[in-house]
Amino acid sequence: MPDQLLAQFSLPLVCAVLLFPLSIEAKTDTWYQVELIVFSHPAGNDAEQWDATPNLAYPSASRLLADEVSTPVVISQPEQAAPTAPLQPAAFTILPSSQQALRNKAAAIQRSSRYQILFHEAWNQQMTDQANALPIVLDRSGDGGAWPELQGTIKLYVARYLYLETNLWLNTRGEYLPGSWRMPAPPIGPSSLIFEAPEPELELELEQPQRETITADPAIDLESQRVPSTLITITKRAETLEPIYPFRHAVRLHQTRRMRSGEVHYIDHPMLGVIVKITPLPDPRSQATPQAESE
């Protein structure tokens, strides 16, 4: 009888133990290192019929990755100074290639003649919930005014689990399209450049070369004898030529996938591939490395 009772309670207990790690998969305000590879597969353009005019748009609010890591400034303090706050990782700043964990995978993809790497970067960021997470723009088309092959954004957030949302599109030459038809040009990405206000218009005050004879008679109104000066406004007119979309079509990759930290995830697509790894960083307050997650 006791053995039967033990068997009845053992199965629910085992199930609860197995499910417990899944219930604490991710938390907000936790720092992670994100590494992302996006590559194209040109041979997959005949895999299926694509949407002729896909819905391509950038979100109204987004952010870009910074190019360089700024050097921290070390300030000497007295011996009995109050403890300072722990140093936080540089958020959304591209890390050097020496800190990339997927370098071998990227090299294998690069060596293959069937694929082409379009994006490979790593950065640190603090995870937030879906409402507060900003999409990250992967292209710099807003700075150069030209369309690259890869455009779009990704979004990482926590909703009990880690999630990756892709809103990417691949600009193609449209070899799979009939005739000479081409889709309308997709939007250009947001700019990371800060443009200064234009210089004020140049105003030159030119007086007529006519000479005046001014007498000393106080009865004569001198102001009425002056020739009114003429204001000439010189404006610089620059011819603005809109760039021409050099591609014919774009194929969109729009998915939302659940991630597990510390694991390498693949997002498959006939013409685009995504490899991502999200690794938890030590808590700067405790400098303690999180324990490895298990299934």
Tell me how far apart the alpha carbons of residues 293 and 295 are, in angstroms, rounded to a whole number: 7
Report the distance separating Cα 67 and Cα 217, nearest Å. Answer: 74
What lies within 8 Å, CB to CB, of 270 at 6+ separation is: 41, 44, 45, 47, 48
Predicted pLDDT at 257: 96
The strand pairing partners of 234, in sequence order, are: 202
Distance CA 254, CA 164 (A): 10
- Contact criterion met (CB below 8 Å) for 156 and 34: yes
DSSP 22: H
CA–CA dist 172, 168 (Å, integer): 13
As a whole number of angstroms, the distance between CA 272 and CA 38 comes to 7
Query: For residues 5-26, b (16+ Cβ closer than 10 Å) or e, as one string?
Result: eeeeeeeeeeeeeeeeeeeebb
For residue range 93-146, list pLDDT tens digits in order. Answer: 999 999 999 999 999 999 998 999 999 999 999 999 999 999 999 999 999 889
**2-40 pLDDT, tens per residue?**
455 445 544 444 444 444 444 445 677 899 999 999 999
Q: How many helices (H) and strands (E) does the chain have?
A: 4, 11
Of residues 134 and 73, more confidently modeled: 134
Dihedral class, residue 89 (left if φ above 0, else alpha if ψ from -120 to 50, else beta) = beta
User: Residue 290: how many CB atoms within 10 A of its CB?
Assistant: 14
**pLDDT number for residue 46:** 67
Residue 139 · residue 118 · CB < 8 Å: no
Distance CA 154, CA 168 (A): 7
